[in-house]
Amino acid sequence: MLQVANIRANKEAYIEALKKRNFDAEQLFSEVLDLDETRRSTQAELDETLAESNKLSKEIGLMFKNGEHQKANLLKEKTSELKETSKSLSEKLADTTAALNRHLYNIPNIPNAIVPAGASEEDNEEIFKEGEVPQLAEGALPHWELAKKYDIIDFELGNKITGAGFPVYKGKGARLQRALIAYFLDKNVAAGYTEYQMPLLVNDASGYGTGQLPDKEGQMYHVTEDNLYLIPTAEVPVTNMFRDEMLAESDLPIACTGYTPCFRREAGSYGAHVRGLNRLHQFDKVEIVRIEKPEDSYAALDGMVEQVKDILRELKLPYRILRLCGGDLGFTSALTYDFEVFSTAQDRWLEISSCSNFETFQANRLKLRYKTADGKKQLAHTLNGSSLALPRVLAGILENYQTPEGIKIPEVLVPYTGFDMID
């Protein structure tokens, strides 16, 4: 959520910047500023009324003490009137604040200056590419065929137990997945991230904190009986650990990593591109989250990108990095780098990581602040990234490492799997 003060100070620049998202903020901004104006004047009026009422109440107290009952009763009438006034004023204040917040919730983050303009993923900017695309033998198979051939992932079985998008991993498939999780976590811990295991269900305050609510409500599974949501990513519980916190400057930076399953309803997205592991309702992911001082946050984002690169390099997977254009940029993000692994057998790129700087957009909702050395309070910057999303890494490994003899295991994983071939 943007800060009203910043909107007021940078109105024109913000409107211009949001055009990169194809978002027309002109109307919304002037409504926000008007509402804020009303909110503040109403607040001032209410304060005055309450001050008057407090004063009279004290006087009445004194009068009773002095036995001046008649005088006191006379004043009581006056305070009753003030009470009516303050009641209607606080209703107005609540309405105005709610309207203001509704507006603010609908305004996306201001894209960083280097975000390219663009309408869709077509306009994302490729900034880096690494790794050899392997020459596969004639008749190379997509991962869902390989999964069947080697009996390591059973999509039909998941169908039976739960429904589409809930695969069952089996034997070496399950062990490979577990190996990947352990390897990712170890890499992140070695890079200074603290490992966490988080709750998989969150309350709605957490959903609002990181911005899944109210705009992406339909994307989360909702346990209505207890009003809890299954997490769509570890970002939600991890970042919300710091909700309503006042950190010391010396606490920063904070770097967390955690493995969780992720649950996404993915309503309405079915079709050829979502076959196999490409898009699931439940999948595993190792996430990294950082809380940074504003002046450090972009260097930290670069550091996260390096961290993911390092992992992909060790896995020897061909990948590229995209700088997302305004049209493809997430609602809460100021700058996002997507990582994609090339799936040779499918002949397409698969998104496996996304690293974003949210600047103060989440922190403002979260009230995540820190005290600087000279005692000033300011919003921290939050960042997160996947390192990595399991199913597509798995798909990439299966497809790119297939040989006529079987699927080789990337060298770096062998100590984790305990085997070097799926056959």
Partner RNA sequence: GGAGAAAUGGCAGAGUGGUCGAAUGCGGCAGUCUUGAAAACUGUUGAGGGUCACACCUCCGGGGGUUCGAAUCCCUCUUUCUCCGCCA
Tokens of 7: 């909107």
Residue ranges for the known binding site are 233, 264-266, 287, 351-354, 384
Instruction: Residue 250: count other Cβ atoms within 10 Å of its Cβ.
Output: 8
Nearest to 123 by CA among 259, 287, 326, 274: 326
In the bound state with RNA, the residue whose beta carbon lies nearer, of 119 and 223, is: 223
- Interface residues with RNA (CB under 7 A) are 40, 43-44, 46-48, 50-51, 53-58, 60-61, 64, 76, 79-80, 83, 246, 369, 377
Closest approach of RNA to the CB of residue 284, in Å: 20
The residue whose two tokens read 């698969």 is 350
Closest approach of RNA to the CB of residue 227, in Å: 10
Closest approach of RNA to the CB of residue 277, in Å: 30
Could you give the C-alpha distances from 234 to 33, 52, 206, in angstroms and in order? Answer: 35, 49, 12
d(CA 55, CA 126): 66
Closest approach of RNA to the CB of residue 50, in Å: 4
In the bound state with RNA, the residue whose beta carbon lies nearer, of 41 and 403, is: 41
Closest approach of RNA to the CB of residue 48, in Å: 6
Residue ranges for the known binding site for ATP are 264-266, 351-354
Kindly give the residue spans of alpha helices, DSSP state H, lying in 316-385.
361-366
List Cβ neighbours of 164 (8 Å cut-off, separation of 6 or more): 158, 281
Closest approach of RNA to the CB of residue 375, in Å: 8
Residue ranges for the known binding site for L-serine are 233, 264, 287, 384
Amino acid at 31: E
Residue 182 C-beta-side C-alpha neighbours within 13 Å: 13
Closest approach of RNA to the CB of residue 97, in Å: 11
Tokens of 334: 């100021």
Instruction: Residue 154: count other Cβ atoms within 10 Å of its Cβ.
Output: 17
In the bound state with RNA, the residue whose beta carbon lies nearer, of 50 and 412, is: 50
H helix or E strand, kind and range, residue 230: strand 228-230
In the bound state with RNA, the residue whose beta carbon lies nearer, of 51 and 157, is: 51
In the bound state with RNA, the residue whose beta carbon lies nearer, of 368 and 397, is: 368
In the bound state with RNA, the residue whose beta carbon lies nearer, of 183 and 208, is: 208
List Cβ neighbours of 151 (8 Å cut-off, separation of 6 or more): 170, 171
Determine the 3-state secondary structure of 26 from DSSP. Answer: helix
In the bound state with RNA, the residue whose beta carbon lies nearer, of 69 and 313, is: 69
